[in-house]
């Protein structure tokens, strides 16, 4: 239970020049086809084993939602096939079948029946729905007095009141307040631990990286990349940066991780190194130690502006800290071809124990979306160890002084 | 068969939808359910009092104060059922586009909900009309039992034809518009307000093509004269109704995928 098998899946919408052509196709016997096919998905194949979690990412219009609709069976594929085993719950459109004039409880029955639950099942699950939604007395008030957040809480609670074999989530998590977002995400995580197969579409890097063991990048209706979530996310980021001239390369580093380098190439990082206070190059650093990140940049073509950005990512690929020389007011104006710059960034290693990586970006202003000369993930890696501070948990070193008074 | 079993699995949803549709109409009113009775009651009162007492309309060949009123109600009430089902079936898929596009559930629930809720409305009206017949001493007797199969045929016919137009309407919205125009002609092309005997011969001959004619004649015969219907005349339309329903389901299944894309 809980297998998703997608093979050779393709979806095309029929496009007619005019409504008359469609009519001709319907009524003229043996008529030639008068429509052109507009492909939105082509050649998608993947298999998801029970209990696995895969994230689907891609820019708007890449075909993510269509793919989910095909998997839930809402739309029919043009080519290929989808087979899903087990009970499927989809958090695609929360609140379908809600009617504003009825109470939350009545709507819960309706929405539950619409996803295939029986009335007695819903009755039995109602206390759990009530407890999870935490909307109190509102449950027995008409839905039109609900805030959108409360509607979303109720809808989510109904949709997930029974653990499905396959759970399909489309950005639904970004609704609701922070508290409920955490709560709903926890529930998804629990389902996963109990063996639910998970398919998530999200732009939220953190969500995908923390819960998925695989990611699929869709681009232009095809699978552009499939693999480890961090590598796919990096590639996605690179793809976002520029569409025309960008070159994206991925290579495996010595320790087996995948490094992504992308950009238009007007400037490039030649060398990245991390140095300690004594000026020695280090890969293992002590908690709280002063560090210097040296980045040597070569300008290959004259450009209007050069900004160096960097970010320090933890083991899971979450950015711990990042900034750039645009924000610090140190953008270099009109660097000429052939010039070289060395940037030295000094900061204390206020990180928790673990392994970290550094990404660098050469851009023209505050984001990498207008011009991206070079984007380099995993430009350097380092490990933080704790030798001279008290033991602590977490990825931030934020040592307190504690005073205790007995009263 | 899988159609039937999936509809059976969603019977809870279908029944609650019907219930909800009925409740939704009167939910925010003070008198609630009373309006369900008051409206058709007003209609029956208008037809009986105005035509029988004020205009003193008489049905040719039949004696009795209320004969024309009963004749009129027999036609108008059953036409009302037909027209409600038709009007709603034509737009059933278009109106539920949101649900159809975003959820995977047996879509044939939707026409069924339409038929059941129209049937419920009609049952109230028919109940009131029967009450009127009993009170005014015009109850036709056992022949009313014949209404059951006749109404069933009519509902099947309306559902089949309406379902077919409903599918077409997804792709060509002209169908819905055209239907709105045609059904007005259809009403006056059916002997509801007038008896067929007042028509010139050529028009009466043409009217034999109207599939609702045998049903209307049967209703009027039962309710005005207490006469059992001529089943031989009803058989062809019963066959047409069944074929239309089967064709509609096939048409729906053939285009279900395209429909989701088109909506």
CA distances B62 to B51, B71, B198, B217, B225, Å, are 15, 10, 14, 15, 9
* Residue in chain A lying closest to B7 (CA): A116
Instruction: Quote the CA–CA distance of B108 and B111 in Å, as a whole number.
Output: 6
Helix, strand, or coil (residue A93): coil
Q: Calculate the CA A373 to chain-centre distance.
A: 24
Q: How confident is the model at residue B181 (pLDDT cuts 50, 70, 90)?
A: very high
Question: Chain A: nearest CA to B105, how far in angstroms?
Answer: 7
A102 contacts chain B (CB < 8 A): yes
Instruction: Say if the Cβ atoms of B171 and A102 lie within 8 Å.
Output: no
Residues of chain B with Cβ-Cβ distance to A75 below 8 Å are: 257, 260-261
Q: Give the percent of chain A with pLDDT over 90.
A: 8
Closest CA to B40 of B115, B117, B129, B114: B129
Residue B45 pLDDT > 80:
yes
**pLDDT tens-digit map of B74-113:** 888 899 999 999 999 999 888 888 888 878 888 888 999 9
CA distances A232 to A55, A167, A252, Å, are 10, 22, 13
CB contact at 8 A, A89 and A170: no
Closest CA to B90 of B188, B213, B11, B182: B182
Residues of chain A with Cβ-Cβ distance to B103 below 8 Å are: 74, 93, 96-97, 114-115
Question: Chain A: nearest CA to B17, how far in angstroms?
Answer: 8
Helix, strand, or coil (residue A139): helix
CB contact at 8 A, B51 and B150: no
Instruction: Quote the CA–CA distance of A98 and A115 in Å, as a whole number.
Output: 12
Residue A253 corresponds to which tokens in the numbers above? 């580093």
Q: What is the dihedral of CA B16, A118, A122, A199, to 10 degrees?
A: -110
pLDDT at A254: 62
Rg (CA), chain B: 20
Residue B76 CB burial class (10 angstroms; 0-12, 13-18, ≥19)? middle
Question: Chain A: nearest CA to B162, how far in angstroms?
Answer: 19
- Measured CB to CB, residues of chain B less than 8 Å from chain A are 9-10, 12-13, 16-17, 20, 23-24, 27-28, 98-99, 101-105, 171-172, 256-258, 260-261
Instruction: Quote the CA–CA distance of B150 and A176 in Å, as a whole number.
Output: 54
CB contact at 8 A, A246 and A372: yes
Residue A214 corresponds to which tokens in the numbers above? 């695989």
Question: Chain B: nearest CA to A297, how far in angstroms?
Answer: 50
Sign of CA dihedral A25, A31, A36, A41: positive
Instruction: Quote the CA–CA distance of A199 and A211 in Å, as a whole number.
Output: 10
A116 contacts chain B (CB < 8 A): yes
* Residue in chain B lying closest to A22 (CA): B171
Q: How confident is the model at residue A174 (pLDDT cuts 50, 70, 90)?
A: low
Residues of chain A with Cβ-Cβ distance to B263 below 8 Å are: none
pLDDT at A250: 72
Q: Cα-flanking dihedrals φ and ψ of residue A102, to 5°?
A: -105, 160
Residue A140 CB burial class (10 angstroms; 0-12, 13-18, ≥19)? exposed
Q: Calculate the CA A251 to chain-centre distance.
A: 22
Residue A403 pLDDT > 80:
yes
Q: What is the mean pLDDT of chain B?
A: 86
Q: Give the percent of chain B with pLDDT over 70.
A: 98
Residue B192 corresponds to which tokens in the numbers above? 């509801």
Closest CA to B105 of A226, A324, A73, A400: A73
ipTM: 0.72
pLDDT at A172: 54
CB pairs under 8 A between A and B: 63
Instruction: Quote the CA–CA distance of A76 and B126 in Å, as a whole number.
Output: 43
Closest CA to A357 of A265, A270, A256, A278: A256
Q: Which of A113-122, A175-184, B94-103 has the lowest mean pLDDT?
A: A175-184
Q: What letter does residue A351 receive in the DSSP assignment?
A: B
Where do the domains of chain A lie? Answer: 247-385
Give the nearest partner residue to B12 out of A13, A19, A119, using CB atoms. Answer: A119
Residues of chain A with Cβ-Cβ distance to B175 below 8 Å are: none
pLDDT at B83: 92
For chain A, how are helix, strand and coil distributed in percent, rounded to 5?
A: 25, 40, 35
A20 contacts chain B (CB < 8 A): no
Q: Calculate the CA A69 to chain-centre distance.
A: 19
A99 contacts chain B (CB < 8 A): yes
Question: Chain A: nearest CA to B164, how far in angstroms?
Answer: 14
Give the nearest partner residue to B102 out of A13, A26, A74, using CB atoms. Answer: A74
Closest CA to A138 of A121, A128, A153: A153
Mean pLDDT of A381-389: 85
Q: Give the CA angle between residues B93, B95, B98 to the nearest 5°.
A: 90
Q: How confident is the model at residue A337 (pLDDT cuts 50, 70, 90)?
A: confident
CATH no. for A247-385: 2.70.50.60
Structural domain boundaries, residue B122: 2-262
Helix, strand, or coil (residue A135): coil
Closest CA to A224 of A59, A66, A7: A59
Instruction: Say if the Cβ atoms of A119 and B256 lie within 8 Å.
Output: no
Instruction: Say if the Cβ atoms of A113 and B10 lie within 8 Å.
Output: yes
| A284, β-bridge pairs | A383
Q: Which residue, among B10, B19, B29, B104, would best test binding to A if mutated, counting the most A CBs under 10 Å from its CB? A: B104
Question: Chain A: nearest CA to B103, how far in angstroms?
Answer: 6
- Give the number of domains in chain B: 1
Q: How confident is the model at residue A25 (pLDDT cuts 50, 70, 90)?
A: confident
Residue A359 CB burial class (10 angstroms; 0-12, 13-18, ≥19)? buried
**pLDDT tens-digit map of A255-314:** 666 777 888 888 888 888 899 888 888 888 889 889 999 999 999 888 888 999 999 988
Instruction: Quote the CA–CA distance of A140 and A212 in Å, as a whole number.
Output: 37
Q: Which residue, among A10, A82, A113, A121, would best test binding to B if mutated, counting the most B CBs under 10 Å from its CB? A: A113
Question: Chain A: nearest CA to B19, how far in angstroms?
Answer: 11
Instruction: Quote the CA–CA distance of A125 and A194 in Å, as a whole number.
Output: 18
Question: Chain B: nearest CA to A178, how far in angstroms?
Answer: 26
Instruction: Say if the Cβ atoms of A119 and B16 lie within 8 Å.
Output: yes
Residue that has been written with the tokens 């290579």 in this structure: A251
Rounded to 10 deg, the angle between the B2-9 and B11-26 helix axes is: 50
Closest CA to B224 of B257, B178, B249, B191: B191
Mean pLDDT of A17-35: 76
Question: Chain A: nearest CA to B6, how far in angstroms?
Answer: 10
CB contact at 8 A, B175 and B163: no
Instruction: Say if the Cβ atoms of B99 and A97 lie within 8 Å.
Output: yes
Please indicate, yes or no, whether the overall pTM of this predicted structure exceeds 0.80. Answer: no
Residue A245 pLDDT > 60:
no
Residue B9 pLDDT > 70:
yes
Instruction: Say if the Cβ atoms of B102 and A119 lie within 8 Å.
Output: no
Residue A185 CB burial class (10 angstroms; 0-12, 13-18, ≥19)? middle
Instruction: Quote the CA–CA distance of A306 and A299 in Å, as a whole number.
Output: 9
**pLDDT tens-digit map of A347-357:** 999 998 888 88
Residues of chain A with Cβ-Cβ distance to B9 below 8 Å are: 116
Pairing of strands A197-201, A166-170: parallel
Residue A107 pLDDT > 80:
yes
Contacts of B27 by beta carbon, 8 Å cutoff, 6+ apart: A101, A102
Instruction: Say if the Cβ atoms of B16 and A26 lie within 8 Å.
Output: no
Instruction: Quote the CA–CA distance of A11 and A232 in Å, as a whole number.
Output: 24
Q: Which residue, among B13, B168, B263, would best test binding to A if mutated, counting the most A CBs under 10 Å from its CB? A: B13
A33 vs B97 pLDDT, higher one: B97
Q: What is the mean pLDDT of chain A?
A: 83
CA distances B130 to A347, B7, B125, Å, are 91, 33, 9
DSSP collapsed to 3 states, chain B: CHHHHHHHHCHHHHHHHHHHHHHHHHCCCCCCCHHHHHHHHHHHHHHHHHHHHHCCCCCCCCCCCCHHHHHHHHHHHHHHHHHHHHHHHHCHHHHCHHHHHHCCCCCCHHHHHHHHHHHHHHHHHHHHHHHHHHHCCCCCCHHHHHHHHHHHHHHHHHHHHHHHHHHHHHHCCHHHHHHHHHHHHHHHCCCCCCCHHHCCHHHHHHHCCCCCHHHHHHHHHHHHHCCCCCHHHHHHHHHHHHHHHHHHHHHHHHHHHHHHHHC
Instruction: Quote the CA–CA distance of B220 and B195 in Å, as a whole number.
Output: 10
**pLDDT tens-digit map of B127-175:** 888 888 888 888 888 888 888 999 999 999 999 999 999 999 988 888 8
Instruction: Quote the CA–CA distance of B87 and B110 in Å, as a whole number.
Output: 14
Residue A1 corresponds to which tokens in the numbers above? 């239970």
CB contact at 8 A, A237 and A269: no
Residue A29 pLDDT > 60:
yes
């Amino acid at each position: 239970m809980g297998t998703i098998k997608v093979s050779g899946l393709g979806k095309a919408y029929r496009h007619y020049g005019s409504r008359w052509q469609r009519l001709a196709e319907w009524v003229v016997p043996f008529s030639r086809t008068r429509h052109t096919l507009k492909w939105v998905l082509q050649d998608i194949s993947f298999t998801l084993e029970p209990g696995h979690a895969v994230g689907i990412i891609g820019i708007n219009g890449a075909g993510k939602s269509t793919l989910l609709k095909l998997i839930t069976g809402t739309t029919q594929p043009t080519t290929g096939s989808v087979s899903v085993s087990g009970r499927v719950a989809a958090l695609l459109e929360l609140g379908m079948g809600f009617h504003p004039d009825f109470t939350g409880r009545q709507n819960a029955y309706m929405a539950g029946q619409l996803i295939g639950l029986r009335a007695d099942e819903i009755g039995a699950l109602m206390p759990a729905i009530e407890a999870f939604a935490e909307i109190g007395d509102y449950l027995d008030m008409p839905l039109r007095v609900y805030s959108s957040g409360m509607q979303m809480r109720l809808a989510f609670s109904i949709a997930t009141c029974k653990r499905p074999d396959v759970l399909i989530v489309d950005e639904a998590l970004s609704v609701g307040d922070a508290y409920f977002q955490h709560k709903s995400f926890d529930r998804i995580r629990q389902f996963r631990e109990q063996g639910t197969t998970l398919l998530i579409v999200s732009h939220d890097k953190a969500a995908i990286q923390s819960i998925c063991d695989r990611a699929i990048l869709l681009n232009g209706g095809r699978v552009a990349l499939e693999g480890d979530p961090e590598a796919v996310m990096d590639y996605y980021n690179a793809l976002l940066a520029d569409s025309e001239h960008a070159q994206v390369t991925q290579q495996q580093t010595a320790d087996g991780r995948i490094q992504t380098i992308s950009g238009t190439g007007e400037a490039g990082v030649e060398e990245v190194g991390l140095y300690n206070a004594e000026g020695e190059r280090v890969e293992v650093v002590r908690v709280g130690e002063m560090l210097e990140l040296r980045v040597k940049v070569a300008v290959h073509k004259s450009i209007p502006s050069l900004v160096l950005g960097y970010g320090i990512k933890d083991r899971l690929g979450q950015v711990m800290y990042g900034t750039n020389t645009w924000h610090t007011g140190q953008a270099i104006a009109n660097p000429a071809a052939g010039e070289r710059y060395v940037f030295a960034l000094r900061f204390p290693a206020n990180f928790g124990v673990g392994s970290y990586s550094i990404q660098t970006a050469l851009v023209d202003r505050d984001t990498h979306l207008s011009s991206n000369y070079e984007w380099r993930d995993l430009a350097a890696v380092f490990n933080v160890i704790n030798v001279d501070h008290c033991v602590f948990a977490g990825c931030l070193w934020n040592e307190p002084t504690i005073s205790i008074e007995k009263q | 068969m899988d159609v039937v079993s999936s509809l059976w699995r969603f019977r809870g949803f279908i029944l609650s939808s019907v219930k909800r549709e009925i409740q939704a109409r009167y939910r925010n009113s003070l008198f609630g359910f009373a309006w369900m009775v008051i409206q058709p009651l007003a209609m029956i009162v208008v037809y009986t009092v105005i035509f029988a007492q004020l205009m003193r309309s008489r049905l040719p060949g039949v004696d009795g104060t209320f004969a024309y009123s009963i004749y009129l109600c027999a036609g108008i009430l059953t036409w009302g059922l037909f027209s409600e089902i038709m009007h709603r079936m034509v737009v059933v898929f278009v109106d539920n586009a949101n649900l159809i596009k975003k959820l995977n559930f047996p879509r044939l629930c939707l026409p069924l909900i339409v038929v059941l809720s129209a049937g419920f409305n009609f049952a109230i009206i028919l109940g009131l009309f029967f009450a009127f017949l009993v009170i005014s001493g015009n109850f036709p007797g056992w022949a009313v039992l014949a209404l059951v199969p006749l109404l069933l045929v009519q509902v099947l016919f309306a559902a089949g034809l309406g379902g077919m137009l409903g599918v077409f309407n997804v792709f060509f919205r002209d169908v819905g518009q055209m239907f709105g125009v045609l059904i007005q002609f259809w009403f006056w092309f059916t002997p509801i307000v007038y008896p067929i005997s007042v028509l010139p011969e050529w028009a009466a001959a043409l009217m034999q093509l109207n599939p609702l004619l045998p049903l209307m004649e049967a209703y009027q015969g039962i309710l005005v004269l207490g006469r059992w219907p001529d089943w031989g005349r009803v058989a062809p339309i019963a066959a047409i109704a069944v074929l239309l329903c089967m064709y509609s389901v096939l048409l729906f299944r053939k285009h279900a995928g395209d429909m989701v894309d088109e909506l």
